[in-house]
């Protein structure tokens, strides 16, 4: 009877509900369908064409004034023009905007008005003497 090497870790691996499957053992990584392979090939071809075009513009002896990089243009658009891509104006967001925008302002108006009314009432009752030239209180 011949001695056999122990099975590899990949063969001994059993899925665990607490840990996700490593990419090396994920069937989606190495079991690719012909459609997936075709799509990856097309994406790679597009990427290589764009890279070749960019490198030709970059290494041109008489280069244009501005070398356009489509990926950079998309990134700049996403960062500047499309600032809130998932924001939708709803009654809830309108209410929250009003609460966070006007809430603190109304709160401080109420607090300062109540404090001023309380001091005025105490001055009229004679319990508080107002200093003649007080700048602050």
Region at 76 (left for phi over 0; alpha for psi -120 to 50; beta for the rest): alpha
Residues of the chain with pLDDT under 50: none
Domain boundary assignment for the chain? 29-87, 89-128
CA-wise closest residue to 130 among 117, 119, 116: 119
Confidence (pLDDT) at 27: 67
The whole-angstrom separation of Cα 134 and Cα 104 is 28
Q: Tell me if the pTM is above 0.75.
A: no
| pLDDT value of residue 79 | 80
pLDDT at 137: 58
- Identify the pLDDT of residue 101: 95
pLDDT at position 5:
80
Q: What is the predicted pLDDT for the residue at 77?
A: 83
> pLDDT value at position 67?
79
What per-residue confidence (pLDDT) applies to 31?
Answer: 65
The answer for residues whose C-beta is within 8 angstroms of residue 126's C-beta and 6 or more apart is none
């Amino acid at each position: 009877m011949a001695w056999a090497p122990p099975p590899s870790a990949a063969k001994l691996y059993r899925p665990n509900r607490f840990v996700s499957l490593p990419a090396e053992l994920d069937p989606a990584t190495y079991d690719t369908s012909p459609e997936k392979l075709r799509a990856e090939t097309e994406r790679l071809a597009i990427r290589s064409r764009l890279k070749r075009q960019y490198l030709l513009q970059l290494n041109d002896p008489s280069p244009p004034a501005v070398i356009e990089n489509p990926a950079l243009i998309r990134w700049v658009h996403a960062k500047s023009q499309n600032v809130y891509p998932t924001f939708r104006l709803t009654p809830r967001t309108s209410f929250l905007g009003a609460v966070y925008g006007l809430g603190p302002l109304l709160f401080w108006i109420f607090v300062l008005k109540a404090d001023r009314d309380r001091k005025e009432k105490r001055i009229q009752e004679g319990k508080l003497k107002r200093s003649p030239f007080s700048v602050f209180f």
